[in-house]
Amino acid sequence: MPTLTIDGQPITVSKGTTVIQAAEALGIYIPRYCYHPGLSIAGSCRMCLVEIEKAPRLEVACYSQAADGMVVHTITENVRLARRSVLEFLLSNHPLDCPVCDQSGECDLQNYYMEFGLYQSRFLENKIKRRKAYPIGPHVMLDNERCILCSRCVRFCDEVSKSHELGIVNRGERSEIALYEGRELNNAYSGNVIDICPVGALTERDFRFQCRVWYLNRTASICPGCARGCNIEIHYNVLRPYQSKGKRILRIKPRFNPAVNKWWICDEGRYGFRHIDASNRLRECEAQTADGVIPLGMETALKTAAAWIGESIEQHGKDSVGFFLSPELSNEDLYAILKLARHLGISKIDFRNPGEHPGFEDNFLIRGDKNPNRRGCVELGLYHRQRENGGWMAEEIKQGTLRMLVAFLQDLSLEPEFKAALVSLKRLIFVGSNSNATSEQAGLVLPSATYAEKNGSFTNFQGRAQRFERALVPLGDSLPENELIARIAAHFRMPEQPFEREQLLLDLRAEFPFFDQSTLDPPDVELAYQTTIAQREHA
Amino acid sequence: MSLETLSDQLLAEISEILAKHPQRRPALLPILHACQRRNGYISPEIERAVAELLGIPVIDVREIITFYTLLLPKPVGKHHLQFCTNLSCHLQGAEESVAAACRRLGIEEGETTADRRFTVTTVECLGACDMAPAMQVNDDYYANMTSDRVNELLDKLS
Amino acid sequence: MEKILSKHFFNPEARRLSFYLQNDGYEAARKALTCMSPQEIIEEVMKSNLRGLGGAGFPTGRKWSFIPKDSPEPRYLVVNCDESEPGTFKDRHIIEWTPHTLLEGVMIASFAIGAHQCFVYARGEYVRYANILQTALEEAYRAGFFGKNIFGTGFDLDVMIHLGAGAYICGEESALLESLEGKKGWPRLKPPFPAVSGLFGRPTIINNTETISYVPVIIRNGGEWFSRLGSLKSGGMRLYSVSGHIRKPGVYELPLGTSLREIIYTYAEGMRNGRKLKAVIPGGSSTPVLTAQEIDVKMDFESLAAIGSMLGSAGVIVMDESACLVKALAVLGKFYQHESCGQCTPCREGTGWMTRILHRILTGRGVKGDLENLVRVANNIQGNTICALGDGAAMPMISFVTKFREEFESHIFHKRCTAVR
């Protein structure tokens, strides 16, 4: 365990720790381009040069290992000069694209220039011209002129996605990032190269020219795309909707969590936000009448829902009503539903897990189970009731014993047995964010908020209950499921308090020790994709 | 897929190279040299075939070919005249011999004659400063390349 | 002074094993393998003061001593014959005229470090010369000098000759290793140094061709004998490659510490066409240039360092008054721009920048401040890169501009070349 001193502060670190890591532990941020904690060390950009006493020259902090008694200075005149000169070299052939570059505002050339550059350009030569702005895959654009050859993207494709699409061809100043002709950057994780590119060389096709990054709001969230529950950040633009043609969410970025997804997310997750502002979003309550579908006000709709449930219980008993849940619901939503069901004495609750027929899966992040909270359903005790994916409910509907169903989110008609059964159902209430065949069959539709529009937590396959925060106002009249439930419960004289966010969580943890013991990941706002800003804010 | 690109002779030579190398990747440069000796240059087909043969990403082979100046991604003339223009040769007037060759062949530096017999390129130090101005034609070194000697050599090669 | 390596230069007979054996060939190897321990060999080489003759000048015996002892791990000897430093052509002479001397050195060095596999990395352009070495190697194999159980000692050694493919950077030892492993010649970060983790991650000693070739005579005549041939800290002889505006370019084998004046005027027979000497690069293009007033310097590591230059690869490039030093420097600039591997920012971007400035000055578009900028850029490269190529590109810039400033200024301010035509 070597003890070293960095800028006058002593620190003891484990053997093998590099100076850049030790400095970070002290809250000292050393600028870098090629270094990325998730990749091998290249040591080539030379931005992280620091002064180490007794060393004959400046050393790169990313590669120098902490040694006992080592004395490091990260800001000296020599270090400033070296960083400034590295910047000057990088900028010498860098185009003046900032006004039209998507990276502006989160560009480490700009950031470091403001800190270490600020010189009058002494480069009188013609800049080298290179190929600009061309797609290299479904999600990524490459601009060779902007590239500073830090090789992060190449190392990502070699070491993380292991797909080996990228290389650096040619030699010296003619070196360029390239793909073999006819090949594409189309691996399942390709979008990450955009995040780790410290400059505007790799930009997002989807995000291109959509919004200046300084207009973006950022909220910590959890990807609902599969059981991994990658920690993400939602970047959205609510103040200037005209800039992005009304699109609220503009991009998803990974958020660092060493235990879950490290710095990365898959492309499925990165672009899996379209349903939030899709045209099939349910914006208001609807009722099926003889005259067709008519919109309802929220109060009327909730009253109707409560009345239907009450009538059914009264006339046909508690067992005539069932709740059909979804592993896409948050722990809090599920628990709220459970509370209401208990209050009403409803015991027919189950969920269907479409992900039980696993989709694509790999040995990195992507899970075959495409639901974010199957583990939550299991831990809430919903799983043991489950018989063949809720198929028993279809059976009971056909037999007429189950007369009314409150179905959440999913399209039950995708399941052949349900498709046949739904027509025999006397009453169907659908709660969900987007319309589907089931919502179209429902007598009453209650619009619910998407994960980006509510607070809550998902329990991932590892058993980590991970909290996510509301980024957007729910669209139209939609409300988070637990609020809808709370307001229906009010019609059954249940107090509001047990449904309030903090109380819900407290009760949940009290009743189910699993949630008390499991790692409840707080949504910290550390940006995984851009260590610069994060480190600065921390420092 | 692309292994048929490699002739039987070349494949035999490659197996010989592979037999000498316990690991595959270190055989890459010798194999590319062999391919170039047989085919004059390294075509994309050969590039892909070699990558497949060694089980390495084809972009890695591309990196190698574009990094090392002796590996040629495009064909050159039968006689590849490579004039050293580094310091010692420059001091002895290397540029004159380059100009003489270009004039005589009617091409610019870096070009190949229409009959594909000659290519003229300038190169960095050949390690033959005692022979300055020096040049290399295919594998052979030539010394003291004045304009006259360039013309004599071209007479001989034509 | 009796020649060692160059004794039989230009005698094609001398390449043959039979000739070599008649001249006590492989006797030093026999002595080393049969009568000496590896440790004794290393000590003898240490005593000889033999230093790395590729350019860095690191004491050879000490380098060998870094190899881990008593470890069962395989280790390698790599001979650097990627001779590419402008002005240097001595290794070519060795493999062309006395290949067996190198091979005998390989045998002794391999035994000393416990290597059973040696790679000779020759630059790709030297294909003909590498073939001569290959022929000699095959001859030696047939005679039982390589392969299994050499001299009945149980020592096994195989040698493989590997051709480079055109990259100056592969002369840098870690880039050379990368190249041997089938990769681009991108120098490695150090540590670990190759003696600990080199080729395929194994302990590896990399020596220059000339360095290894001097090993047999050291074993034959003793380290002290060799050491006394040279100056105090730089032992023995070395091959000076001399080129440029002199009467007799070529390789001269002389004791370390011979004066540059003597090399130019006595051995290379002085300046061509009776012209005046203007500038000399003493140790290959990367070493700081000397003026005509500085040629009394002794050509050894310490003496050149004392006047701010380096012995390097001992490639002496002589320039007379007809040489335009702006053009000369632009030629060198273009070389480093072409050969920079592209890995480190300062060298990748800086070599091109310097060359463009020089080209501008040369074509009459120089402006005030260019020279300051040139030196500033060079200084910003120097010391800030993984390998020494950046330093090698910077040193000529700084020294040319500093020592011959007027000539550069004349181009910038008067658009006139002061070289005497």
Going from N- to C-terminal start, the domains of chain B cover 3-67, 79-157
d(CA C320, CA C420): 9
Q: What is the ipTM of this complex?
A: 0.96
Nearest Cα neighbor of C249 from C53, C88, C11 is: C88
Looking at residue C212, its pLDDT comes to 98
Partner-chain contact C345 A88, CB within 8 Å: no
Measuring CA to CA, how many Å separate C2 from each of C8, C255, C315? Answer: 11, 10, 21
Last residue of a domain, one of C320, C352, C381: C320
**SS3 of A333, please?**
helix
Looking at residue A530, its pLDDT comes to 38
CATH assignment at residue C101: 3.40.50.11540
Nearest Cα neighbor of A407 from A377, A382, A443, A383 is: A443
Nearest Cα neighbor of B88 from C210, C242, C417, C125 is: C242
Inside any domain, residue C208: yes
Provide the number of structural domains found in chain C: 3
**SS3 of A485, please?**
helix
Inside any domain, residue C420: no
List residues of C whose CB lies inside 8 A of any A CB: 167, 184, 189, 337-346, 348-353, 356-357, 360, 367, 369-370, 373, 376, 380, 383-386
- Tokens, residue A127: 């800049």
- Tokens, residue A461: 């396959």
> From the list A47, A58, A172, which residue is nearest C338 (CB)?
A172
Looking at residue A538, its pLDDT comes to 38
d(CA C342, CA C340): 5
d(CA A8, CA A32): 21
Residue environment code for B105-116, b if the CB has 16+ CB neighbours within 10 A, otherwise e:
bebebebbeeee
Backbone phi and psi for residue C278, each to the nearest 5 degrees, phi listed first: -115, -50
| Residue B73 identity (one-letter amino acid) | P
d(CA C323, CA C245): 9
Residue environment code for C309-334, b if the CB has 16+ CB neighbours within 10 A, otherwise e:
bbbbbbbbbbbbbebbbbbbbbbbbb
Inside any domain, residue C398: yes
Chain B residues in contact with A168 (beta carbon < 8 A)? 63
C215 and C338 in a common domain: no
Last residue of a domain, one of C276, C303, C320: C320
C147 and C279 in a common domain: no
C209 and C81 in a common domain: yes
User: Three-state secondary structure along chain C?
Assistant: CCCCCHHHCCCHHHHCHHHHHHCCCCHHHHHHHHHCCHHHHHHHHHHHCCECCCCCCCEHHHHHHCCCCCCCCCCEEEEEECCCCCCCCHHHHHHHHCHHHHHHHHHHHHHHHCCCEEEEEECHHHHHHHHHHHHHHHHHHHCCCCEEEECCCCEEEEEEEEECCCCHHHHCHHHHHHHHCCCCCCCCCCCCCCCCCCHHHCCEEEEEHHHHHCHHHHHHHCHHHHHHHCCCCCCCEEEEEEEECECCCEEEEEECCCEHHHHHHHHCCCEHHHCCEEEEECCCCCCCCEEHHHCCCECCHHHHHHCCCCCCCCEEEEEECCCCHHHHHHHHHHHHHHHCCCCCHHHHHHHHHHHHHHHHHHCCCCCCCHHHHHHHHHHHHCCCCCCCHHHHHHHHHHHHHHHCHHHHHHHHHCCCCCCCC
**CA of B106, closest CA in chain C: separation in Å?**
25
Last residue of a domain, one of C172, C198, C229: C229
Looking at residue A523, its pLDDT comes to 59
User: Three-state secondary structure along A122-173?
Assistant: CCCCCCCCCCCCEECCCCEEECCCCCCCCCHHHHHHHHHCCCCCEEEECCHH
Inside any domain, residue C421: no
Average pLDDT score over residue span B50-72: 97
C316 and C341 in a common domain: no
Please, what is the average pLDDT of chain C? 96
Inside any domain, residue C102: yes
Partner-chain contact B62 A168, CB within 8 Å: no
Cβ-Cβ contacts under 8 Å for A121 (sequence gap 6 or more): A91
d(CA C65, CA C205): 10
User: Do residues A265 and A229 touch, judged by C-beta distance below 8 A?
Assistant: no
Nearest-Cα residue of chain A relative to residue B66: A170
d(CA A305, CA A284): 14
Question: How far is CA A282 from its chain centroid?
Answer: 23
Q: How many C-beta neighbours within 10 Å does residue A289 have?
A: 10
Q: Does C285 touch chain B (CB under 8 A)?
A: yes
Nearest-Cα residue of chain B relative to residue C177: B26
Looking at residue A382, its pLDDT comes to 81
Residue window 145-204, chain A: list those with CB within 8 Å of chain B.
Answer: 164-171, 178-181, 183
d(CA C367, CA C412): 6
User: Do residues A18 and A2 touch, judged by C-beta distance below 8 A?
Assistant: no
Tell the residue number behind the tokens 């690991």, with chain if given: B23
> From the list A42, A58, A173, which residue is nearest C384 (CB)?
A58
Partner-chain contact A164 B62, CB within 8 Å: no
| Chain B partners (3+ C-beta pairs within 8 A) | A, C
Partner-chain contact A45 C345, CB within 8 Å: yes
**CA of A10, closest CA in chain C: separation in Å?**
24
**CA of B40, closest CA in chain A: separation in Å?**
20
**CA of C340, closest CA in chain B: separation in Å?**
10
Q: How confident is the model at residue C310 (pLDDT cuts 50, 70, 90)?
A: very high
Measuring CA to CA, how many Å separate C254 from each of A394, B88, C196, C262, C357? Answer: 99, 21, 34, 10, 39
Inside any domain, residue C78: yes
Nearest Cα neighbor of A72 from A152, A150, A13 is: A13
> From the list C340, C383, C385, which residue is nearest A172 (CB)?
C340
C119 and C59 in a common domain: yes
CATH assignment at residue C257: 3.10.20.600
d(CA A358, CA A353): 10
Per-residue DSSP letter, A281: B
Partner-chain contact C380 A89, CB within 8 Å: yes
C89 and C210 in a common domain: yes
Partner-chain contact B90 C167, CB within 8 Å: no
Nearest-Cα residue of chain B relative to residue A158: B57
Partner-chain contact B140 C179, CB within 8 Å: no
Most C CBs within 10 Å, among B87, B121, B138, to test the C interface: B87
- Tokens, residue A492: 């059954």
d(CA C188, CA C176): 10
User: Do residues A407 and A438 touch, judged by C-beta distance below 8 A?
Assistant: yes
Cβ-Cβ contacts under 8 Å for C204 (sequence gap 6 or more): C75, C76, C77, C78, C177, C194, C195, C197, C198
Chain B residues in contact with C163 (beta carbon < 8 A)? 29-30, 33
C243 and C130 in a common domain: no
Measuring CA to CA, how many Å separate C111 from each of C34, C106, C146, C216, C337? Answer: 11, 8, 12, 12, 40
Looking at residue B133, its pLDDT comes to 97
d(CA A474, CA A310): 28
d(CA A260, CA A227): 11
**CA of A133, closest CA in chain B: separation in Å?**
21
Partner-chain contact B59 A171, CB within 8 Å: no
Tell the residue number behind the tokens 């279809």, with chain if given: A394
Nearest-Cα residue of chain B relative to residue A177: B63
User: Do residues C51 and C59 touch, judged by C-beta distance below 8 A?
Assistant: yes
Strand partners, A204: A140
C345 and C302 in a common domain: no
Measuring CA to CA, how many Å separate C139 from each of C30, C135, C216? Answer: 17, 6, 19
Q: What domain range is C10 assigned to?
A: 5-229
Using a 10 angstrom Cβ sphere, with 0-12 exposed, 13-18 middle and 19 or more buried, the burial of residue B144 is middle
Using a 10 angstrom Cβ sphere, with 0-12 exposed, 13-18 middle and 19 or more buried, the burial of residue A322 is buried
Query: Can you list the residues of chain A whose pLDDT is less than 50?
Result: 525-539
C79 and C165 in a common domain: yes
- Topology of domain B79-157 in CATH is Glutaredoxin (3.40.30)
Chain B residues in contact with A179 (beta carbon < 8 A)? 59
C206 and C84 in a common domain: yes
On the CB side of A488, CA atoms within 13 Å amount to: 27
Nearest Cα neighbor of B74 from B107, B54, B47 is: B47
Look up the pTM and report it: 0.95
Looking at residue A525, its pLDDT comes to 44
- Alpha-helical (H) ranges within chain B are 8-20, 28-39, 44-54, 58-67, 87-91, 94-105, 147-157
**CA of B111, closest CA in chain A: separation in Å?**
20
User: Do residues C280 and C274 touch, judged by C-beta distance below 8 A?
Assistant: no
C222 and C150 in a common domain: yes
Strand ordering across the sheet containing A520-521: A456-459, A465-468, A520-521
C183 and C135 in a common domain: yes
Inside any domain, residue C419: no
User: Three-state secondary structure along B80-118?
Assistant: EEEEECCHHHHHCCHHHHHHHHHHHHCCCCCCECCCCCE
